[in-house]
Amino acid sequence: MSVRGVTRAAVARVRATLLGWLSSVGAVVDAVAAWWIERVLCSPAYLTASVSVQKTVGSIRDWRVWPVLAEWIRAVARAVWRVVGPPVRDAVGWLRHRAPGVVWRGLCWLARRVPRWIWRATFYAFVGAWWVLSRTVRWASGHASYAGLVRQMDDDQRHGTAKRLREEWARMAALRSVLVLIVAVVVALVVTGVANKIGTVTAAVIVSGVFALVGRVIRSTPAGDDHGPEVIVHSGPDEPFPIADAHTRAEAADAVARALRTEGVDLRMVGEAVRQGWGWEVPVILRRGTPSQVVDKLAALETTLDLPAGGAMASPDRTRRARVVIRLAERDPFTGLSAAPSRPALPLVSRSITARLHVGSVITGEPLALGLLGVHGVVIGDTGSGKSSTLCTLADAVTDCADATVWDLDPAGTGLDVLADSIERSERTRAGIEDALADALALAEVRPHLLREMGMAGREWVPSPEHPAVVVFVDEYPRLSNAAKEMAVDILRIGRKARVSLLLASTEATSDTLGDAIADTTALKILHACRHADVRLVLGPSMLGEGWRPDRLNPASADSPEDAGCGYVYAPHYRDPVLSKFRPVSDEDTAERARQRAPHRPRVDAVSWEAARKRRHSNESGFTPGKSGRHRAALALPSPRSGEPAPLDRMAVADVLAAFGDDERVWTVDLLARLAGRHERYAEWTPEDLADALRPLGLSPAQIRQDGRNRQGYHRQAVSDALSRSERG
């Protein structure tokens, strides 16, 4: 067969093969299209969905359904965001903080290696091209198949056979050469067509890449490349890193795990981290040991994770001993906590002492709501820790209750003067404080016996605007007299059922200042920045290892508030060591609220007062020294007209001064009418009762001339001066 015939046959074979492939592909496409039309486009489900979409689109044209549709979209969006929100925030954090560094390191890595790669690719491309060319020529020439046989026939003197092999060799070489030529032409046409589509440079790069791949396969290492293997030095697998470098939940959990293992804590696992506005919450599960192992390492964790002082906190889970929640505060968690508004949204004095009162915020973002009904409390904190502000915040909340009254006792400072208009009784002197505590103790003793008479079910006093609870705030408790301290301890023991509560504040909790019984009888314990020993005395020796670490807080300094107002609260509903902050108070706004509430504030009911007066009188009459003998004399308060000297009733004197108003002198009958209007306690008072109340001040009624008539009465300045002399004495 001639060369032309061989060429035509080869071309016909290639064409037939290509046409067969195209026919097969066309048949597959037709089958898929037919299946799609039959099974999908014509299916009942698709038709039903199409009708629903058309109806929905038609209804959307009606503007009245737009709000409903918007609510649906908003609800769906919120549900979707709850699921995809954390991963999206992680991705955004990675893109903002990690991606630029990764890209830069990648660019540097490429800049170091691209020249070497180009040289290697060029070398491999030449090697591959030479190998393809040489292999093609050797195959087309048939040298490997016939050269050895022809040489052997010539050596054996078999010239006829050698000639026949040479002719066969020539025909085979011609056929292979034609095939190679055809393939070369086809490849050249394909490459040219691709180059026209994608560009000559791109096509050249692709062809070079193919040849380089061939060259890389046949020769893994180019000649003359004596570079040794590259060594990349990494940090250790458990090397800790700052928490500020953690921008996803997985990175935060990894940072905590590395830091704890570095500090020698044996972990079973680290739970899923939770991103907060101030930092991270990361739960960890211990393999062995106690939560105190984590609590004791908090200071070291702050260094390892590069946190601010006091930024690491640990809260063991009371329901699962091995679980500890670690909170890492990179910034102040209470930045957004604002003071109470001067004009509250609710009506004045509309709350109840029976409900929990919102007084601050917890680091978890939940409101700090404390129940103060019949609850005694103690506030411990160094100077500048914010304990007086905490008392003011609590008193501000109580004065907004329609069924509770506030007494303010402070032997060393100004107490709750900012709330003076809403406070029923305020004492600053030793005698006044002892008298107030004696009245509170008498109320605590008599109220349980009045329950049936007052129509109250149960064994506890039921507060109401007519029969309010009494909350006594005592600041600087260590500076009280011994008699006052003994009465305070008695109130702590018996005042709960009578709803007579004490809230005490002290700078320290040692046994000689606060007393051993205080910490055991108070259900509410607030610890601001204080000493290590105070935590043991107030909460117990084991609570430090449970995460109660107010000793790591810092009181305010001259130029910085530090952790003032922050503390740990141990109370019902708050048994975990979680940092809290009490709502700051503004003197101007607080005073304005007190003035607005003053006309609506309740006062101790007359029935309780009269019973308390009788109890104080009976205590004096039946006085016998005993366990509480030193303060029984302070409880004595004879009834009017008993003929016995009575101690000063400072609350009554304060009401008398308030009843004067702007008048300098008032007749007794008018003064009694004004007192009866202020409180029902004075509704049945006679001129003799008023004289008995003012007699301890050395006052007696005098003749007062008004409108041409003389009557018995009192001068306001005389009462005020006598009260001042009594307080100085």
Could you tell me which residues are annotated as the binding site for ATP? 381-388
Say if strands 524-527 and 323-329 run parallel, antiparallel, or are unpaired: unpaired
Distances (CA, A) of 450 to 460, 611, 681: 10, 9, 16
- Alpha-carbon distance of 565 to 526, in angstroms, equals 10
Distances (CA, A) of 668 to 640, 641, 660, 704: 17, 17, 11, 10
Chain CA centroid to CA 587, Å:
28
Distances (CA, A) of 671 to 145, 639, 708: 138, 20, 19
Comparing CA positions, the residue from 595, 591, 593, 604 lying closest to residue 679 is 604
Helix (H) or strand (E) holding 407: strand 404-409
Say if strands 267-270 and 279-286 run parallel, antiparallel, or are unpaired: antiparallel
Retrieve residue 351's tokens: 């709350």
Instruction: Say how many residues make up the chain.
Output: 729
Strand-pair partners of 703:
712
Tally Cβ neighbours within 10 Å of residue 393: 23
Amino acid at 18: L
Going across the sheet that includes 469-474, the strands are: 367-370, 357-362, 579-582, 566-570, 524-527, 377-380, 500-506, 469-474, 404-409, 425-427
Tally Cβ neighbours within 10 Å of residue 144: 9
Comparing CA positions, the residue from 723, 710, 704 lying closest to residue 665 is 704
- Alpha-carbon distance of 613 to 605, in angstroms, equals 13
| 405: phi then psi, degrees, rounded to nearest 5 | -120, 155
- Alpha-carbon distance of 181 to 189, in angstroms, equals 12
Tally Cβ neighbours within 10 Å of residue 223: 8
Say if strands 425-427 and 404-409 run parallel, antiparallel, or are unpaired: parallel
- Alpha-carbon distance of 270 to 144, in angstroms, equals 68
- Alpha-carbon distance of 705 to 667, in angstroms, equals 9
Retrieve residue 230's tokens: 């590259």
First to last CA, the chain: 143
> What's the farthest any 2 CA atoms get from each other in the chain?
173
Binding residues: 381-388
Strand-pair partners of 31:
none
Say if strands 404-409 and 267-270 run parallel, antiparallel, or are unpaired: unpaired
